[in-house]
Structure 1
Amino acid sequence: MVYLCAMPFRYNLVYFLILFIPCISRAQADSTAQVLEEVFHAKDKIEQQKIERLVVLKRRFAQERMPTRKLDLAKELILAYRKYQVDSAIHYTQLYRQLGEQLTDSLVVNQANFYLASLYSSTGKFIEAENLLRGIKRSALPNDLVPAYFEAYTAFSSHYGQSSNNEQYFKLSERYRDSLLNLLPDTSLQYRIALATKYLYHNRETEAEQILRSLLLKTDDRYTERGLIAYLLGLMYKNKNDIDQATYYFSLSAISDIRHVVKDNASLQSLAQCYNSHGDIDKAYQFIQAAVNDAAFCNIRYRSLENSSFYGIINTSFQEKELAQKRALRQNLIVISLLSMFLVLALFFLYTQIKKLRRARIELHQANAELKKLNTQLLLSNTNLSESNHIKEEYIAQFFDICSSYIDKIDEQRKLLLKRFAQKQYDDINKILKSQDVVKNELEELYRNFDIIFLNLYPSFIEDFNQLLRSEERINLKDGELLNTELRIFALIRLGITDSTKIATFLRYSLRTVYNYRVKVRGKVAGSKDEFEAKIRDIGEIRSF
């Protein structure tokens, strides 16, 4: 019963792992691709840092006077240059051997010869490399140098086999590797990498993968060998035609090679092939170009031969893609040009419409301004008309009051004369008729009534009138006085009576008196004398009606 219950759980776990593991692999691949892109773009900066370290190391080597310390510095330079620039590595290896010869140190001389043999074979100088190796007697070597002897022969055979594509030298390289494995400690990193390489050569991929995965977990980017470990894993998956996994491991290898500035690398070329298989021509061209440049800079002959065989294929694909892109670009330019022409025509049409609209707006604005002006004039006319109507109404009402009052006074005068006549008081009648008091009183009453009516219509007239005069010439009225003669003359002008003859008749003055008053007041004006009477006609706020 317990077994039956455990079965669904086990199947679910297996199903979960089947679904989840590919997701993890895809996430790892994406993350690695991103890191590779960042490191690749920082390639020049990383190399510059290495160059600066080499400059310091070379300066120390040139300044060092102690032979033993100079030997150590020369070895550091050899190791720094051997995967970066072979010609410089050869130069410092030769100096290293000369120092050994000066110190009669056969160990240093033999070690330098092993270094030189490997470097010569990597540059295609196989005769020189072979002469060096044959000049070394294995029996005379100390035990510490025997592994280096087999390592040099392994490298020589491998390089020559790659350059000549001679299977016999690959087999010879395997025999030297077997001899090397017999001498190396089985726990050393060099031993395990050599063993995994041997397994790969003999198609024992499961055992090789187990070793390489273990080494990859135990190493990080501090180890220069990490690039080779990842490359061998990528090569194994490439042989299985698993391009995704091959790309992932080649990417790890390239990251390590770039960080350690290893120009003698196979990772970039292999990455280019993988991306070319995926159809990503841009990246394929980018990596193969970098691989070609690295091989040329490092002067590794067999790398240049390998790269040249793939460069043509990838470059052709890249050129075809560029031609396709240019054709597409040309077509897009034609379409854009046509669209631009339509856009220019549309803009021209829009511009003409905007000009018409602007012209219509200007005309409308002018019409509105003219209409506003007419409205203002109409409002002014209406105001003047209303004012005139109000003045007429005011004066008609006062006229009827005065006429009624005059009728009453005439009637009283008639009754008084009739009474005097009845009493035969002819002298009194004659006296009344000859008296000017009545006329004088009536004139005063007339002026007073005019003043009252006018100030009732224009209560601010006196104040506004004084504002037009200089401050020292302003009019001050006596107590009880509403208007004086000067103000009364200009009050009539305010009402529209500008003719001096009419003003003289109304006020019962001579024409010269009116003229003199008008001239006298104009001489007191603060502003323009010519505009004075025009301003008089506009002053005085009419009482609200």
Structure 2
Amino acid sequence: MRRKISAIIFCLISVIHTYANTPKTDSLWLLLKAELKKGTSYIQRKEQKIRLIKQQLEKIPDDNFNPRFQLLSHLFDEYSSFRFDSAITSVHRMIAISKRFNEKQHLIKSQMAYATVLMKSGFYKEAFDAVAEVDTNQLSTRTEHDYLVLRALLYAEISAYNNDAYFAKRYHEASEEDFKRAAQIINVDELERTINLAFLPTGDKKKPTAEFYYNYLLSRKLSEHQIAIIATRISYAYDNYDKLLLLTLAAINDIRSATKETFAIFLLGQELFQHNRNNDAYICMQEALGNAAFFGTRNRAAQIESVLPLIASRLIEEKQHEKDMLWIGIVIFLFVAVVLVFQLVLFRKQMIRIKMNDRIIQEKNTELEDVNGKLWESSRIKEELIGLFFKTCSSYIETLDKVIRKAQHNIKLGKYQDATRVLGNVHIQTEKNQLFSTLDRVFLTLFPNFVASFNSLLKQEDQIWLKEGEMMTATLRIFALIRLGVTDIETIAKILDYTVNTVYTYKARIKGKALVSPDVFEQKIMEIKFTDDR
């Protein structure tokens, strides 16, 4: 159980450590891309420095060994990681002048420099031949240490280049043996001791973090080229984002120092490829390939050309995947767009249908309101006329009852003249006038604007206006009955005690004087407003 808990805690710490380093790695990568854009300016600065050394060298006489060899050595240092052919020319001049003045130690230094530049360019056989020419009997302690380190690096390089299970193992063992012998010759300084701590076993408390080395190298007074070399060397002791941090730092300083040997940025490209950062890996490999062509590094160019197609193919796969996803996205978008358009069309049709239904409902409501108004109007008219009818009938029945009783009473008493006189007191015309007066009053109460509305349909000279207290004329009564819904001429004639011809004549005369067509005159009469006292 404890082992499981410890394993979980260790995984959490590793994840936290990894993600804690990620932002610094990302910011360094952005800095690296910015430095790549400024590569030309760093090359120009390097070339300017080389021109100054050459100008100083031209001023030194051929027989003045020390200053001339020193300048040739500086010139070689500038070319050693910049241009292979120029570096070879410089080191040959160093070898020639050393032999000319019989300077053994300077000759050994020149031969070792020659072997170093051959090793960087992949001329491994020539580099071994150059190492074999070194007179090991003339080596000082420091020179012997450098010689063993050079030979160890050469064995390591050819081991990595061969990549064969049998021969690579032999070269690797020889490299380890030379490194051990070199470590026993001299006491290493504080910088070397700190670097060696990186190669302690993982989990050792004394082993510093990659970020420690990042800050450590930047805090020391080291050249850009030295920082790149040491950071590349330490990167072998770490993996994942720690390795990316150190290799990115090395690549940045290689660019700033115009180093074209390309080792750091090549390793960075490989590591990025392992992390599936294919686009970034492709950028590094392209830069490394350009640097290899610039410097003339055959072995590195071969390594890059073997890896670059893998990165390119993966990039093509990613681009194809992105293209496929884009097409899928476009298809989905078009499908959604079509569905939305279809929905919008349906929605628009529904809205149009709803608006049409609303309009129909409004029209129906208006029609219902008109019908209700007319029904209410008709109901009111009927109520008034029925009331008038019963009131008038009741009055006439009461009057007839009185007349009958008086007549019967006088007849019983034999007063026949008195009975005749009682019957003679009933004036039919007066009663008719009284009925018409009541009818006029009720109608004008229901239609107070009838006379004005009726006259608006006639010319001014033909208009009929009533004086105060005056009853309606026969013409007005005819059209008043029509407005009340009595349209049958015979019925109108009986109500008004006229002949059918008389009623017809009145109607025809008025229609002939009307401002509107005779066909629509009665319709206009029906449109005269009823008093709304609801």
What is the TM-score normalised by the length of structure 2? 0.61
Superposition RMSD in Å: 6.0
**For the residues of structure 1 that align with 2:189 and 2:67, how far apart are their CA atoms?**
40
**For the residues of structure 2 that align with 1:448 and 1:311, how far apart are their CA atoms?**
125
**For the residues of structure 2 that align with 1:481 and 1:108, how far apart are their CA atoms?**
148
**For the residues of structure 2 that align with 1:440 and 1:490, how far apart are their CA atoms?**
22
Alpha-carbon spacing, 1:409–1:516, altered in 2? closer, same or farther (3 Å) = farther
Counterpart in 2 of 1:193? none
Maintained 8 Å contact 2:466/2:472: yes
**For the residues of structure 1 that align with 2:369 and 2:213, how far apart are their CA atoms?**
104
1:402, distance to aligned residue in structure 2 (A): 1.3
Pairing 1:289-300 to 2, within 5 Å after superposition: 289-296=286-293, 299-300=294-295
Counterpart in 2 of 1:210? 193
Alpha-carbon spacing, 1:159–1:259, altered in 2? closer, same or farther (3 Å) = closer
Which one of 21, 34, 53 corresponds to residue 42 of structure 1?
A: 34
1:310, distance to aligned residue in structure 2 (A): 2.2
1:268 aligns with 2:226: no
Structure 2, gaps ≥5 residues long: 1-6, 147-177, 198-211
1:401 aligns with 2:366: no
Which one of 538, 541, 545 corresponds to residue 527 of structure 2?
A: 538
1:394, distance to aligned residue in structure 2 (A): 3.4
The one-letter amino acid of 2:22's match is D
Alpha-carbon spacing, 1:262–1:466, altered in 2? closer, same or farther (3 Å) = farther
Alpha-carbon spacing, 1:178–1:288, altered in 2? closer, same or farther (3 Å) = farther
Which one of 248, 263, 268 corresponds to residue 251 of structure 1?
A: 248
Maintained 8 Å contact 2:214/2:246: no
1:249, distance to aligned residue in structure 2 (A): 1.7
Alpha-carbon spacing, 1:378–1:242, altered in 2? closer, same or farther (3 Å) = closer
Which one of 220, 223, 226 corresponds to residue 225 of structure 1?
A: 223
**For the residues of structure 1 that align with 2:397 and 2:86, how far apart are their CA atoms?**
153
**For the residues of structure 1 that align with 2:439 and 2:23, how far apart are their CA atoms?**
107
Counterpart in 2 of 1:161? 119
**For the residues of structure 2 that align with 1:128 and 1:229, how far apart are their CA atoms?**
27
Alpha-carbon spacing, 1:531–1:151, altered in 2? closer, same or farther (3 Å) = farther
* 1:279-302 Cα deviation digits (max 9, x unpaired): 655544332222222343xx2123
Maintained 8 Å contact 2:46/2:257: no
Maintained 8 Å contact 1:93/1:115: yes
1:138, distance to aligned residue in structure 2 (A): 9.9
Alpha-carbon spacing, 1:176–1:283, altered in 2? closer, same or farther (3 Å) = farther
Counterpart in 2 of 1:315? 308
The one-letter amino acid of 2:46's match is Y
State the secondary structure of the residue aligned to 1:497.
coil
Alpha-carbon spacing, 1:472–1:241, altered in 2? closer, same or farther (3 Å) = farther
1:268, distance to aligned residue in structure 2 (A): 0.7
Alpha-carbon spacing, 1:535–1:260, altered in 2? closer, same or farther (3 Å) = farther
Maintained 8 Å contact 2:453/2:528: yes
The one-letter amino acid of 1:395's match is L
Alpha-carbon spacing, 1:372–1:277, altered in 2? closer, same or farther (3 Å) = closer
Pairing 1:98-497 to 2, within 5 Å after superposition: 100=59, 113-118=72-77, 122-125=83-86, 128-134=89-95, 136=97, 155-163=113-121, 164-165=123-124, 166-167=127-128, 169=130, 178=142, 202=182, 209-212=192-195, 217=215, 220=218, 225-226=223-224, 228-229=226-227, 231-238=229-236, 240=237, 245-258=242-255, 262-276=259-273, 282-296=279-293, 299-302=294-297, 305-319=298-312, 321=314, 384=374, 387-410=377-400, 422=415, 424=417, 438-458=427-447, 461=450, 477-481=466-470, 483=472, 487-497=476-486
1:128, distance to aligned residue in structure 2 (A): 2.6
**For the residues of structure 1 that align with 2:78 and 2:464, how far apart are their CA atoms?**
124
Alpha-carbon spacing, 1:533–1:247, altered in 2? closer, same or farther (3 Å) = same
1:358, distance to aligned residue in structure 2 (A): 9.1
**For the residues of structure 1 that align with 2:181 and 2:465, how far apart are their CA atoms?**
132
Maintained 8 Å contact 2:486/2:492: yes
Alpha-carbon spacing, 1:323–1:389, altered in 2? closer, same or farther (3 Å) = closer
* 1:446-467 Cα deviation digits (max 9, x unpaired): 2221123324544565576677
**For the residues of structure 2 that align with 1:110 and 1:508, how far apart are their CA atoms?**
155
Counterpart in 1 of 2:167? none
Maintained 8 Å contact 1:117/1:132: no
The one-letter amino acid of 1:515's match is A
**For the residues of structure 2 that align with 1:22 and 1:469, how far apart are their CA atoms?**
108
Maintained 8 Å contact 2:22/2:241: no
Counterpart in 2 of 1:81? 46
1:29 aligns with 2:18: no
State the secondary structure of the residue aligned to 2:386.
helix
1:159, distance to aligned residue in structure 2 (A): 0.7
State the secondary structure of the residue aligned to 1:124.
helix
Structure 1, gaps ≥5 residues long: 1-14, 55-76, 83-87, 141-146, 183-197
State the secondary structure of the residue aligned to 2:529.
coil
* 1:348-401 Cα deviation digits (max 9, x unpaired): 9x96x9999999998999899878877876776666556545534432332222
Maintained 8 Å contact 2:269/2:281: yes
What is the TM-score normalised by the length of structure 1? 0.60
1:37, distance to aligned residue in structure 2 (A): 2.2
Maintained 8 Å contact 1:114/1:133: yes
Maintained 8 Å contact 1:295/1:301: yes
State the secondary structure of the residue aligned to 2:530.
coil
The one-letter amino acid of 1:232's match is I
Maintained 8 Å contact 2:235/2:247: no
* 1:184-222 Cα deviation digits (max 9, x unpaired): xxxxxxxxxxxxxx9899358996543559996565399
Alpha-carbon spacing, 1:110–1:180, altered in 2? closer, same or farther (3 Å) = farther
Maintained 8 Å contact 2:483/2:525: yes
Residue range with higher mean Cα deviation, 112-121 or 401-410: 112-121
**For the residues of structure 2 that align with 1:24 and 1:359, how far apart are their CA atoms?**
59
Maintained 8 Å contact 1:230/1:252: yes
Alpha-carbon spacing, 1:391–1:29, altered in 2? closer, same or farther (3 Å) = closer
Alpha-carbon spacing, 1:438–1:180, altered in 2? closer, same or farther (3 Å) = farther
**For the residues of structure 2 that align with 1:90 and 1:307, how far apart are their CA atoms?**
25
